A and B are shown apart, each in its own frame.
Chain A
């Protein structure tokens, strides 16, 4: 800690970092909390527990949770196939996994809507089966699954690539079959990455706006997500109301962020690599 600093530029770099961070992120974010502090406790509670608001939490958090769960299962399968199997076009598939990161959310939103609407490529088949996807909560699930897809794949993939083949060989030479090896040897090693990917996908889905509003239908109490409610309140110049709901979301996001960070530090400390 006290070793002399050989390299130059520390005060400048750190100073710039802190000032920029404060100006762009910390001070503006604190505005939310300061603004909501103008409310009394009862007023604050009244806003954040209004029936329409509560139902938006249920929709946003509930469907996000479901989407993240779907992504955890399919993301694991996806990562497995990409790492373990060689097939033509694998590189292209691998590159396109990041599409939801790169594609603007508005574009994703209108594309998914067109796809799942009654006359869309998929929508018409779903309609035949009696399923209405666009403009319902199911549409929200589709959009949130889309935007959360890369998180699990990209957190699990490197861990799977790093996984020592000798561990699986050891399990096999000790008599374990492939399924036992997966459950007892591979899955425990992957689980922190899976959990991290799940949490990242969940956090992203809860705050998501662009890809959802086109497909959701936005019916209050049925398919209205919390971020949309903030926008609605802003458009009605109800800044205080928008801010109060924003506080709820921020507290949730920050808690999740610190949990994810804690999880990563914990796994790093507990099981450092032991080979080599």
Chain B
């Protein structure tokens, strides 16, 4: 079943959680809602589920306006970040709950309920735990029970709020793969919220990037990663190096130095920001060269197949930090050592006008900050 949200606005006091959001979620796809804490992604999910009412805007489920429908009537499966399992009920009773509270006419018989719950428990591979209480389960098991419980009422849509947020890294990875397989088997239109870009890119058919209550970009994972539409998306999906300069023909003038540009849609004299991914930078140890920008090696980290080099450069008064990723062999050839002065040569620069409205919001530098998690979301 398809989902469409149209012109959704939601405020909490002075805080704008959703600012005129319009999105289409195609039928049968698994979509990841990705963004930093407070970007409004959970609020959007709760509005789709009917757990929160928008200040204005509409929610269409299967082209029917469901905006005024009660959460009970929407047939939406919702999986909560902290599972929200009923702790006084056994696993079996938890999963059976949605079937047992149906009006008498629609309620399946006891045998039918038993059969369906057993089927779901085997689907989530926990049939042996039917008589346990939630307190006796591990985090990953609880999450799977929460999912089974949501699936029991045969929802038309499955919504998952930070489904792996409370789990440790290893279980997270396992469950991620498992959720993907489950979706391939069931093909229910599903939306899940996450602040973890790796998770969103790995699991979803499609990614929606949100920031400050707005949609920044929607697309397939490789598309948004390779072709970020905004500086925010560029910064949010993976590490990035930033060059602040002025357009000068087919060159970006950074301080005293110039970086060549392959393409240029800007007029000369425009203030611009150049984005370069760490693997798109090369290092030149030949100081006689005038190409690239001068920088000083601070640290060389050779981990696995890639070597990561941290550098600093001077930009007027300020110091800026760069990060370069090279194949290990290449790094070995260069024989880099801390304190060495080198030149950085970008293979590709993505330009944004530096006065573009979202530029000041993008979490650019230092690079390290983009790699970690973002904490709890609203």
Contact = CB atoms under 8 A, between A and B. Distances in A.
B80 A169 contact: yes
A274 B135 contact: yes
Interface string B49-85: 1110000000000000000001110111110101111
Contact of B84 (A169, A175, A271): A169
Nearest to B78: A173
A233 to B, nearest CB: 47
A275 B82 contact: yes
A169 B82 contact: no
A196 to B, nearest CB: 16
> Which of A167, A169, A175, A177 has the most chain B CB atoms closer than 10 A to its own CB?
A175
A176 B82 contact: no
- Secondary structure at the A interface, as helix, strand, loop or mixed, is helix
> Which of B71, B88, B149, B166 has the most chain A CB atoms closer than 10 A to its own CB?
B88
Interface residues of B, number: 33
Contacts of B71: 169, 172-173
Contact of B51 (A173, A270, A271): A173
A174 B98 contact: yes
B150 A271 contact: no
A11 interface: no
B102 interface: yes
Contact of A173 (B77, B85, B102, B135): B77
A270 B133 contact: yes
A166 B84 contact: yes
A174 B80 contact: no
Interface stretch (A25-33, A81-89, A181-189, A224-232): A181-189
Contacts of A271: 87-88, 133, 135
A170 B102 contact: no
B135 A272 contact: yes
A174 B97 contact: yes
B225 interface: no
Contact of A185 (B78, B86, B133): B86
Interface in A239-272: 270-272
A176 B149 CA distance: 13
Nearest to A174: B98
A49 interface: no
B150 A174 contact: yes
A172 B80 CA distance: 13
A274 B101 contact: no
Nearest to B166: A276
Contacts of A175: 72, 75, 98, 101-102, 153
A175 B77 CA distance: 10
Contacts of A114: none
Nearest to B137: A274
Contacts of B80: 166, 169-170
Given A166-B82, A170-B78, A271-B135, A176 B88 contact: no
Given A174-B101, A176-B101, A275 B51 contact: no
Interface string B289-303: 000000000000000
A164 interface: yes
Contact of B88 (A172, A174, A180, A188): A188
Given A271-B88, A274-B135, A173 B76 contact: yes
Contact of A274 (B97, B98, B142, B150): B142
A217 to B, nearest CB: 45
A171 interface: yes
A193 to B, nearest CB: 13
Nearest to A168: B84
A30 B153 CA distance: 61
B36 to A, nearest CB: 22
B185 to A, nearest CB: 22
B77 to A, nearest CB: 7
Nearest to A272: B135
> Which of B82, B83, B84 has the most chain A CB atoms closer than 10 A to its own CB?
B84
Contacts of A185: 86
Contact of B82 (A171, A174, A184, A276): A276
Nearest to A191: B88
Contact of B153 (A174, A184, A275): A174
Nearest to A169: B51
B274 interface: no
B72 A177 contact: yes
B35 interface: no
Contacts of A173: 49-51, 71-72, 74, 76-78, 150
Nearest to A188: B88
Contact of B101 (A169, A184, A275): A184
Interface of A: 164, 166-167, 169-177, 180, 184-185, 188-189, 270-276
Given A173-B49, A274-B87, 5 more contacts: A170-B84, A171-B86, A173-B51, A189-B88, A270-B135
19 contacts: A164-B82, A164-B84, A166-B82, A167-B84, A169-B71, A169-B84, A171-B97, A172-B51, A172-B72, A174-B152, A175-B101, A177-B72, A184-B86, A185-B86, A189-B88, A271-B133, A274-B134, A275-B84, A276-B166
> Which 10 residue pairs are nearest across A and B when measured between Cβ atoms?
A174-B98, A166-B84, A176-B101, A170-B84, A275-B82, A173-B78, A188-B88, A172-B71, A271-B87, A180-B101
